[in-house]
Amino acid sequence: MKNLTEGNITDAVLKAIDGTKDARAKEVMSSLIRHLHAFVKDVQLTQDEWEGAIEYLYDTGQITGPTRNEFILTSDTLGISSLVDIINSNPDGGTEASVLGPFYIEGSKMVEIGTNLIGDSEGEPTVVSGIVRTLGGDPIEGAIIDVWQTAANGLYENQDPEQPENNLRCKMLTNKDGYYEFTTIKPVSYKVPTDGPVGRMLDLQGRHAWRPSHLHYKVSADGHRNLITEVFCEEDEYIEEDAVFGVRKSLAVPYKKISSEEEAKKYGISSPFYRVEFDFELETL
Ligand SMILES: [Fe+2]
């Protein structure tokens, strides 16, 4: 009988998974085991610390449900989601990806180009538009733009029982020029939820929970790689210190303030308002 020690237990576990048939699964699991064991040895993890980690995972599962995913938020606040994005994003030079975040919902309502999403929402009126193109610069007709954002109180519709269902989120199809446009309110910087395990972790690390103002996008079109990204307000005070590390320079744009009643009237909103333009370049599959 072999005596297991700190020095040989990693090899014993690696040997135990040697029969994994799927080559990629074997590669990923082997590396995970090696790194986790190395980490435990590196910090000489105590029993109490191990129990704390298990409790963290348990609590993360308990607070996770259809409208909140604390596992994603953990991944986001540890920079894992962004690292995965950076590794896999735009290999051919298209628009950079950014985190999906925990507040996406499938099945947003489909609306016409130019729709006003404001409804009863408070906030500063903002017109958002742009063009979806191929890498070669050709407009893509019929691309699906799926967008979601916070209300002025910093909450997404699915975090806030006071907001109507589907508030400040929609899908639309680009026209023959690849164009999309909608009117909304300026998204605000907000804190990721801190009433769960992630909040405890941020406290422990002496970090704030703020994200700079952004619009979330999912952009898809036949024959093209799906894009999940965010478009940031470049003047936001948290642009350099996003709690989830989602900001990329290429995704930060100005919100131009326009003080013209005549212009505002065209969109059925009041002046002053903001204008945001962002074009997407999708990679071919
Ligand atoms: Fe967000």
Residues, Cβ < 5 Å to ion ligand 1 = 101
CA of residue 101 to ligand 1 center, whole Å: 6
Phi, psi of 81, deg, nearest 5:
-60, -45
**Cα 20 to ligand 1 centre (Å):** 38
Could you tell me how many residues make up the chain? 285
Rounded to the nearest angstrom, the distance between the alpha carbon of 273 and the centre of ligand 1 is 22
Q: What is the pLDDT, as a whole number, of residue 42? A: 98
Separation of CA 283 and ligand 1 centre (Å)? 24
C-alpha–C-alpha distance, residues 18 and 105, integer Å: 39
Res 67: pLDDT: 75
Between the CA of 218 and the centroid of ligand 1 the distance, in Å, is 12
User: What is the structure's pLDDT at 249?
Assistant: 95
Residue 140 confidence (pLDDT): 98
Give 217 Cα–ligand 1 centroid separation in angstroms: 10
How close is the Cα of 206 to the center of ligand 1, in Å?
Answer: 22
10-residue averages of pLDDT along the chain (285 residues): 92 97 98 98 98 98 90 95 90 91 88 94 95 97 97 91 93 98 96 96 97 97 96 96 96 96 92 96 95
The rounded Å distance from CA 220 to ligand 1 centre is 19
* CA 72 / ligand 1 centre spacing (Å): 12
The CA distances from residue 4 to 9, 40, 175, in Å, are 6, 16, 65
Domains of the chain, earliest start first:
1-43 (no CATH), 80-282 (2.60.130.10)
Distance from residue 226's CA to the centre of ligand 1 (Å): 19
> Measured in angstroms, how far is the CA atom of residue 210 from the centroid of ligand 1?
10
- Report CA(150)–ligand 1 centroid distance (Å): 7
| pLDDT of res. 172 | 98
195 C-alpha vs ligand 1 centroid, how far in Å?
Answer: 17
Cα(69) to centroid of ligand 1, in Å?
13
CA of 197 to the centre of ligand 1 (A): 19
Centroid of ligand 1 to alpha carbon of 46 (angstroms): 36
Quick one: pLDDT at residue 1?
78
Cα(188) to ligand 1 centroid in Å equals 9
* Structure confidence at residue 101 (pLDDT): 83
Closest CA to 111 of 18, 182, 46, 175: 182
